Amino acid sequence: MKSSCYENRLILAPSIIGGNQANLEESLREIELSGSEWVHLDVMDGQFVPNVTLGATIVKALRSKTKLFFDVHLMLNNPDFHVQSFIDAGADSITLHLEPNYPIKKTLELVRSKDCAVGLALNPLTPLEKVYPFLSFVDLMLVMTVNPGFCGQEFMPECLEKVQALNAFKFKNGLDFRIEVDGGISLENAKSCILAGANTLVCGTSFFKSKNKEQFHKEILGI
Ligand code: DX5
Ligand code: ZN
């Protein structure tokens, strides 16, 4: 397992669905050249969210093109059915949503047992309390800052209350998981996310629209 997930430092994870869908390899190169170590891969089923994106076959094809950390975000109604194919495709971490009806703890344990980091994601309207029973089983918590489904939506600042509460819970209970924010993250709001306790920033539109991606990477992480 790659160690960056377990290091306590800020990480930018550009979201490849914000890149060139006709040339994903080119988008991977842009991410590498920016200095980012992670790529965020959004997997949508048209059921849990109203959009369909990429599947395990594409993740596997991309795996052969880069050493970037593969941060796979599954927006699926039956993630338990699909996790093994994304592990086999070369995911370094797999994040599942809390909202669908499936055996959550068993699925988290399965992913971890396969030497893959595991995360849980929460939609903006899902109360944070629902995740508390699972926090000792995760390596990452993803707080959605838009309703999932599409790139380019407007950041919802009210979601940062959850980031603050998660961060407080983490320290109070001696837990160690990354806190990732996803949706509408930009140079304008990244600082507020980091101050709230996020250490992993997913950026689709803002990253791929930036003219100088190396500069963007440095600026958004404050380095
Ligand atoms: C939204 C996805 C996000 C999205 C982010 O459902 O989970 O990862 O790609 O794109 P931006 O940064 O444009 O909101
Ligand atoms: Zn995502």
Q: Which domain holds residue 173?
A: 3-221
Calculate the alpha carbon distances from 17 to 69, 146, 211 in Å.
16, 15, 18
In the residue annotation, 88 being an active-site residue is answered as: no
The CATH number assigned to the domain holding 49 equals 3.20.20.70
Report yes or no: 93 and 70 within 8 Å, Cβ to Cβ: yes
* Active-site choice (42, 45, 71, 139): 42
Q: What type of residue sits at position 39?
A: V
Name beta bridge partners: 73: 42, 95
Report the predicted TM-score, pTM, of the whole model to 2 decimal places.
Answer: 0.98
Distance CA 187, CA 207 (A): 9
Q: How many domains does the chain have?
A: 1
Report yes or no: 52 and 151 within 8 Å, Cβ to Cβ: no
CB atoms within 10 A of CB 177: 21
Sorting pLDDT into bands at 50, 70 and 90, what band is 1? very low
Distance CA 203, CA 220 (A): 10
- Please report the DSSP string for 11-66 in residue order: EEEEBGGGS-TT-HHHHHHHHHHHT--EEEEEEEBSSSSS-B---HHHHHHHHTT-
pLDDT for 107-144, tens place per residue? 999 999 999 999 999 999 999 999 999 999 999 999 99
pLDDT for 147-174, tens place per residue? 999 999 999 999 999 999 999 999 999 9
Q: How many whole angstroms from 49 Cα to the centroid of ligand 1?
A: 12
Ligand 1 atom closest to residue 15's alpha carbon, by position in its atom list: 9
Distance CA 184, CA 168 (A): 24
Q: How many whole angstroms from 119 Cα to the centroid of ligand 1?
A: 16
Q: Helix, strand, coil % (nearest 5) of the chain?
A: 40, 20, 35
Ligand 1 in reach of 145 Cβ (< 6 A): no
188 pLDDT above the threshold of 70: yes
